[in-house]
């Protein structure tokens, strides 16, 4: 039976990931999409052969028999649209950051749970081969206990990746800057690979270069539930971009550098660095393939609403820490 997908919003994330990757999954068809920018929608319709386009998700829901949706709109619409989709009886794949408040995160989880539908957050970096192997190495215990974690993710800014996405740079539209955009990726990597939860955060956010009203740089200090400490840097002023996560363990260091050279290396005292062989692809292939698998097999995604919510909540608490100049406790997301 064909799984019928609807796409909410047709920006660059839909063009570059969701639409092409759904095409790679057997038994799946993107039957409809919606975007208030109808000129953009028609371009995407022609490029990806989408049967029907609409101006709003309400119109699409009314006229289409869907099984699931991808919610790819600006951050501030995620909660409203994901909850509406769940109430309409649809499975939901929502882009990161999941939402802009803890209240909304919990409401999204509750709506999907009540509907008995899958809610998955599109943390695409979990599906990189290096991340898959990094988690395997850390969880195996071969390097001993993780003591500290250092993460950095930066690039030149969303205006270079998505020129039409000017809303990223506006506080009214996005609420936050680099932390919500890419800091959430790094937080998610640190949590997913280590298997630890962040319980406290202290952060500084700043506008250092761009003429915008959301932060273009941020740093945070993290305390995990077992006492492990972490540091995070997120930047929109790094050119060239870089993404590196280092796990300092009792018996050595796991160095994951997704930008340059060997992406995954084990470093031990007085030994040559040991590159970790990687599979060509993640076993689950892509977030879209995994989302479809979870729907068909009744699985709970490893990046479900609670997991996506935990990473998002850390970023939201970092903004509160900067604003109120204090260490902030990270609320639990069930």
- Residues 166 and 291 occupy one common structural domain: no
- Structural domain total, the chain: 2
- Residues 276 and 290 occupy one common structural domain: no
Q: What mean pLDDT do residues 163-169 have?
A: 85
With a cut of 80, say whether residue 29 has pLDDT above it: yes
- What torsion, rounded to 10 degrees, do the Cα atoms 13, 70, 303, 12 define? 0
- Residues 82 and 221 occupy one common structural domain: no
pLDDT at residue 262 in the model: 74
- Residues 115 and 241 occupy one common structural domain: no
pLDDT at residue 334 in the model: 81
Q: Is residue 334, in this structure, part of any structural domain at all?
A: no
pLDDT at residue 156 in the model: 95
Q: What mean pLDDT do residues 118-137 have?
A: 97
Q: What mean pLDDT do residues 240-252 have?
A: 96
Q: What mean pLDDT do residues 280-297 have?
A: 96
pLDDT at residue 127 in the model: 97
pLDDT at residue 200 in the model: 98
- Residues 111 and 173 occupy one common structural domain: no
Whole-model pTM: value is 0.96
- Residues 168 and 276 occupy one common structural domain: yes
Q: Is residue 307, in this structure, part of any structural domain at all?
A: no
With a cut of 90, say whether residue 90 has pLDDT above it: yes
The structure tokens listed for 163 are 């020129």
List of residues 6+ apart from 119 with CB closer than 8 A: 82, 86, 91, 92, 94, 108, 109, 112, 113, 304, 305
- Residues 244 and 298 occupy one common structural domain: no
| Domain residue limits at 214 | 125-281+312-329
* Count of beta carbons in the 10 Å neighbourhood of residue 319: 24
What mean pLDDT, rounded, does the chain reach? 96
């Amino acid at each position: 039976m064909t799984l019928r997908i609807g796409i909410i919003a047709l920006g660059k994330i839909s063009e570059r990931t969701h639409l092409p990757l759904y095409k790679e999954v057997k038994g799946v068809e993107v039957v409809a999409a919606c975007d208030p920018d109808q000129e953009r929608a028609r371009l995407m319709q022609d490029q990806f052969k989408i049967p029907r386009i609409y101006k709003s998700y309400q119109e699409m829901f009314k006229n289409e028999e869907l099984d699931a949706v991808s919610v790819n709109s600006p951050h501030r619409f995620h909660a409203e649209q994901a909850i509406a989709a769940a109430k309409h009886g649809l499975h939901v794949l929502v882009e990161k950051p999941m939402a802009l408040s803890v209240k909304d995160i919990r409401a999204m989880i509750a709506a999907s749970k009540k509907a008995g539908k899958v809610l998955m957050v599109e943390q695409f970096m979990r599906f990189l081969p290096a991340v898959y192997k990094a988690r395997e190495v850390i969880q195996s215990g071969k390097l001993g206990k993780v003591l500290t974690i250092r993460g950095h993710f930066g690039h030149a800014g969303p205006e270079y990746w998505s020129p039409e996405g000017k809303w990223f740079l506006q506080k009214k539209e996005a609420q936050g800057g680099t932390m919500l955009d890419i800091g959430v990726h790094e937080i998610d990597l640190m949590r997913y690979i280590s298997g630890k939860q962040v319980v406290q955060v202290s952060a500084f956010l700043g506008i250092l270069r761009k003429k915008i009203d959301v932060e273009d740089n941020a740093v945070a200090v993290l305390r995990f539930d077992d006492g492990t400490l972490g540091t995070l840097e997120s930047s929109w002023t790094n050119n060239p971009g870089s993404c590196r996560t280092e796990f300092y363990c009792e018996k050595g260091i796991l160095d994951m550098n997704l930008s340059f050279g060997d992406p995954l290396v084990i470093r031990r005292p007085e030994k040559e660095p040991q590159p970790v062989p990687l599979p060509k692809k993640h076993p689950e292939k892509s977030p879209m393939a995994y989302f479809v698998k979870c729907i068909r097999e009744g699985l709970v995604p490893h990046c479900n609403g609670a997991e996506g919510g935990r990473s998002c909540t850390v970023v939201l608490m970092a903004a509160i820490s900067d604003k109120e100049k204090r260490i902030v406790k990270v609320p639990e997301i069930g």
